[in-house]
Amino acid sequence: MKKTIITLAILALTGCAQMPVEWIDAAPTKTEVANNIKKEFDTISEPAAGRPLSVAVYGFKDLTGQRKPSPNLASLSTAVTQGGETFLIQALQSVGKGKWFEVVERVGIDNLTKERLIIRQMREAYEGKDAKPLLPMQFAGVILEGGIVGFDSTVNAGGTGARIFGIGSQAQWSQDTVTVSLRAVSVNTGKVLATVTVQKTILSTSDGLTAFRFFDAGTKSFEGETGVTVNEPGTFAVKSAIELAVVELIKEGERKGHWDFKKEVKKDELVQSETSKIRNSQEEAADNKSGDNKNDGRGQTERSEPPKQK
């Protein structure tokens, strides 16, 4: 009897593990927001100027000051990444297939200037006055400032579950929110050209199965539990938020007239334009031909007339 009840409980757990959980209405549904962001990030229109804008990034720091949430003890780990400028530089170099921005090094400017000084001193020591000078460093027309300005833990949370005869399933979920801010500053005037603020949701889900049964006349019990938890990486959320902020900054600058999108000529418009050019050239050729024929006829008429007698 004991072995029979344990076997039935194991079979029940196996059957529940194969049950879908789409019936859980409280759980958030998956969307294609990340895919849409990535698609817009890659396919945004090119700049009308035809050349990338030179920009500088000095840093993109964590301004929240928050620690990673822990239910039992204080954590020394920060809630978000401390290397946001890495993702920002990568996003600037990749947005619009690399045709929008040209990033100059400013995060490690001290190391760069030290290395240039070493090269100059070594060349002067071995080559003297005839030492070849280094090329001048490229300057930026725009500085990008900002940072991670917010991290809100457990903004939304919920779950649901059901159990019958001590066997059932349950699901829980929670949402965190990370907020980033980005602004473009003109080096020439110091004016803030555009500012954007973007939020990204961090989703965590947990699914579990439990079983609890009494057997042997209620003198013994069996309990089993299994589950899985999936947490969206916070670093990935910060990276996605920064990429979206770069796209929104480009759009905001275009709306304010600081730069323009390159106008794309559609295929039908291009065909119509070429057709109209060919038609115009044919009409001009026909007009020139008819004008030449008139001139030739007039010349023949004048030559056929006899000279007048005085």
CATH assignment of the domain containing 148: 3.40.50.10610
The CA-CA-CA angle for residues 124, 129, 130, to 5°, reads 95
User: 308 and 215 in one domain?
Assistant: no
Total tally of structural domains belonging to the chain: 2
Are the C-beta atoms of residues 154 and 176 closer than 8 Å to each other? Answer: yes
Report DSSP state, residue 238.
Answer: H
User: 303 and 221 in one domain?
Assistant: no
User: 68 and 129 in one domain?
Assistant: yes
Instruction: Look at residue 236 and tell me if it is in a domain.
Output: yes
Are the C-beta atoms of residues 97 and 42 closer than 8 Å to each other? Answer: yes
Instruction: Look at residue 260 and tell me if it is in a domain.
Output: no
User: 11 and 82 in one domain?
Assistant: yes
Domain that holds residue 294: 268-310
The type of residue at 208 is G
The type of residue at 78 is T
Mean pLDDT across the chain, nearest whole number?
79
Cα–Cα dist 95/246, whole Å = 8
User: 309 and 251 in one domain?
Assistant: no
Count Cβ atoms within 10 A of the Cβ of residue 22 and give its class: 0-12 exposed, 13-18 middle, 19 or more buried: exposed
The type of residue at 106 is R
Does position 203 have pLDDT exceeding 50, yes or no?
Answer: yes
User: 291 and 207 in one domain?
Assistant: no
pLDDT digits (tens, 9 = 90+) for 37-73: 677 788 888 888 888 999 999 999 999 888 877 767 6
Does position 17 have pLDDT exceeding 70, yes or no?
Answer: no
pLDDT band for position 101 (50/70/90)?
very high
Instruction: Look at residue 158 and tell me if it is in a domain.
Output: yes
Q: How far are the Cα atoms of 54, 56, 142, 144, 231 from residue 186, in angstroms, in the given order?
A: 11, 11, 5, 9, 39
pLDDT band for position 164 (50/70/90)?
confident
Cα–Cα dist 14/209, whole Å = 10
User: 227 and 196 in one domain?
Assistant: yes
Q: Is the pTM of this model over 0.85?
A: no
Q: For residue 57, how many other CB atoms are within 10 A of its CB?
A: 22
pLDDT band for position 291 (50/70/90)?
low
pLDDT at res. 270: 46
pLDDT digits (tens, 9 = 90+) for 114-136: 999 999 999 988 888 888 889 99
Count Cβ atoms within 10 A of the Cβ of residue 289 and give its class: 0-12 exposed, 13-18 middle, 19 or more buried: exposed
User: 230 and 302 in one domain?
Assistant: no
pLDDT digits (tens, 9 = 90+) for 23-32: 334 444 444 4
User: 275 and 221 in one domain?
Assistant: no
**Residue 97 is encoded by which pair of tokens?**
């297939």
User: 54 and 200 in one domain?
Assistant: yes
User: 290 and 180 in one domain?
Assistant: no
Lowest-pLDDT range, 14-23, 133-142, 223-232, 239-248? 14-23
pLDDT band for position 167 (50/70/90)?
confident
